[in-house]
Amino acid sequence: MRRADPHSKTAESPMAETILANAVLILPDETISGAIVLRDGEIVDIGEGRSVPQGAVNCEGDLVMPGLIELHTDNLERHIEPRPRVNWPHAAAIIAHDAELCSVGITTVFDALRVGSIGASGARGDYREYARDLATEILDMRAKEALRISHYIHLRAETCSETLLEELEKFGPEDRVGIVSLMDHTPGERQFRDLSKLRDYVCGKHGLSEAQFDEHVASQIALKERLGTAHEVASVEAARRYGAVLASHDDTTAAQVAHSAAKGVQFAEFPTTIEAAAACRMLGIAVMMGAPNLIRGGSHSGNVAAHELAERDLLDIVSSDYVPSALLSSALLLGDLWGDMARGIRTVTDAPARAVGLHDRGRLEVGKRADLIRVKRVNGAGMLHGVWVKGARVG
């Protein structure tokens, strides 16, 4: 058994223990049958064997793994605007979003909020400023202990916008901004090199006419030409000011990856080609792909399939993106694909934690935060049987 120091503060002020026994423990590099002990919000003991001590939870052979860590999810936006131009009360939306993530095993989330807006003259009416006010509400609810899981802020810096500089200035080091991602959604580039795919997406989601779509494309290209470089420079500087990790988005070519690396990017969100993913590997940039892409077997935008990168050992991190429940499913799928469950689970626990510098979580190790989940495999799927955050059961 690997025990904590008996003279530590934890041992001097004990709380009620939680013992999860007779479990398959997903450790960083292996799986073992054993038990894990939680106390004072930390993991204090891990041991092998199938015995169930008195008072322990008998996990009956279920998987016990670190809580899932989500770096990029648009889920909160879905709650605050459940239909186009339908605004929902933010407090209720944040609580529902938090509860939904908890219910699928996510214990740490970086809520992705767009910064960079376009005025009423734009063809799309949904590009108004919202991030600062929403972040304030999230942080206020966190301070009031109204949320079940751990929340950080991820600012999606839209370089093709009008107000990015002003919006970035409204955030500071006190705002728990953990990630700033460089978003370049110029039509005809990156994610939507195929304009027909962009037309289907934008017109389908926002109900634009052909004329409005053409106006949208022209205005985005003009914004990129006028402000794109200055906005990228400001976003990189803002990340440094916040103490946040910098991420790229939708890199397509090796040249774009080299540009990202020169800016100090630590991980790449959703590279669109094998070329870009391979370049990330060469330059030490972690590759993140979307769980929906992996589970569906391909990208809805016609870009590289996540399973292709997994098969080429070019996949490091998985994000649920727009389907929270997909995160656990994708990790189990990867564990089966690779024949290594510990490796599959690392893509949604240890790897994302390391990418953003959260060294206190993401691994079942003595001294780490006691953020854990219990999962039963049913016909290959994962059924959640418990969620613990800092040792307290929350789901």
**pLDDT tens for residues 346-361?**
999 999 999 999 999 9
Confidence tier at 117 by pLDDT (50, 70, 90): confident
Confidence tier at 375 by pLDDT (50, 70, 90): very high
Can you read off the two tokens belonging to residue 263?
């800016």
Let me know whether 305 and 235 are in one domain: yes
Sheet holding 150-158, edge to edge: 68-73, 106-115, 150-158, 177-183, 245-249, 267-269, 286-290, 317-319
Q: Can you give the pLDDT at residue 112?
A: 96
User: Do 246 and 266 contact (CB within 8 A), yes or no?
Assistant: yes
Let me know whether 296 and 207 are in one domain: yes
Q: Report how far residue 357's alpha carbon sits from residue 345's, in angstroms, rounded to the nearest whole number.
A: 18
Total-model pTM: 0.88
The CATH number for 163's domain is 3.20.20.140
Let me know whether 57 and 74 are in one domain: no
Q: Report how far residue 355's alpha carbon sits from residue 315's, in angstroms, rounded to the nearest whole number.
A: 13
Can you read off the two tokens belonging to residue 355?
């990418």
Average pLDDT, the chain: 89
Let me know whether 16 and 164 are in one domain: no
Indicate whether 375 belongs to any domain. Answer: no
Amino acid identity of residue 179, one-letter, is I
Indicate whether 60 belongs to any domain. Answer: yes
DSSP letter string over 1-18?
-EE--TTSHHHHS----E
Name the one residue in this structure whose structure tokens are 């991602």.
Answer: 181
Confidence tier at 4 by pLDDT (50, 70, 90): very low
Indicate whether 84 belongs to any domain. Answer: yes
Q: Report how far residue 384's alpha carbon sits from residue 382's, in angstroms, rounded to the nearest whole number.
A: 6
Give me the mean pLDDT over the 281-302 stretch.
92
Q: Report how far residue 71's alpha carbon sits from residue 290's, in angstroms, rounded to the nearest whole number.
A: 11
The CATH number for 28's domain is 2.30.40.10
pLDDT digits (tens, 9 = 90+) for 154-208: 999 998 888 999 999 999 999 999 999 998 866 656 556 655 555 655 555 555 6
- Does residue 326 register a pLDDT over 80? yes
DSSP designation for 159: S
Let me know whether 26 and 124 are in one domain: no
Q: Can you give the pLDDT at residue 6?
A: 33
Q: Report how far residue 26's alpha carbon sits from residue 34's, in angstroms, rounded to the nearest whole number.
A: 10
Indicate whether 85 belongs to any domain. Answer: yes
Taking 3-state DSSP, the helix, strand and coil percentages for the chain, each rounded to the nearest 5, stand at 40, 25, 35
Let me know whether 387 and 291 are in one domain: no
Name the nearest CA neighbour of 25 among 57, 54, 66, 56: 66
Indicate whether 248 belongs to any domain. Answer: yes
User: Do 377 and 333 contact (CB within 8 A), yes or no?
Assistant: no
How many Å from the N-terminal Cα to the C-terminal Cα in the chain? Answer: 28
pLDDT digits (tens, 9 = 90+) for 266-276: 999 999 999 99
Indicate whether 374 belongs to any domain. Answer: no
Indicate whether 303 belongs to any domain. Answer: yes
Let me know whether 60 and 130 are in one domain: no
Let me know whether 146 and 37 are in one domain: no
Let me know whether 50 and 78 are in one domain: no
Q: Report how far residue 164's alpha carbon sits from residue 114's, in angstroms, rounded to the nearest whole number.
A: 9
Q: Can you give the pLDDT at residue 299?
A: 85
pLDDT digits (tens, 9 = 90+) for 241-274: 999 999 999 999 999 999 999 999 999 999 999 9
- Does residue 391 register a pLDDT over 50? yes
Indicate whether 363 belongs to any domain. Answer: no
pLDDT digits (tens, 9 = 90+) for 7-42: 333 333 345 799 999 999 999 999 999 999 999 999
Let me know whether 307 and 330 are in one domain: yes
- Does residue 98 register a pLDDT over 80? yes
Let me know whether 174 and 56 are in one domain: no
Cα pseudo-dihedral 206, 207, 208, 210, rounded to 10: 140
Q: Report how far residue 230's alpha carbon sits from residue 209's, in angstroms, rounded to the nearest whole number.
A: 31
Q: Report how far residue 349's alpha carbon sits from residue 68's, in angstroms, rounded to the nearest whole number.
A: 5
Q: Can you give the pLDDT at residue 189?
A: 62
- Which residue range is the domain that position 79 belongs to? 68-358
- Reported for 5-12, long-range contacts at CB under 8 A and 24+ positions apart, including other chains, are 10/39, 10/40, 10/42, 10/44
Q: Can you give the pLDDT at residue 200?
A: 56
Confidence tier at 226 by pLDDT (50, 70, 90): confident
Q: Can you give the pLDDT at residue 191?
A: 59
* Domain total in the chain: 2
Q: Is 1 exposed, middle or buried (0-12, 13-18, 19+ CB in 10 A)?
A: exposed
Name the one residue in this structure whose structure tokens are 């202990």.
Answer: 145
User: Do 275 and 190 contact (CB within 8 A), yes or no?
Assistant: no
Let me know whether 21 and 94 are in one domain: no
pLDDT digits (tens, 9 = 90+) for 80-96: 988 877 889 999 999 99
In Å, what is the CA distance from 328 to each residue of 13, 209, 292? 35, 38, 11
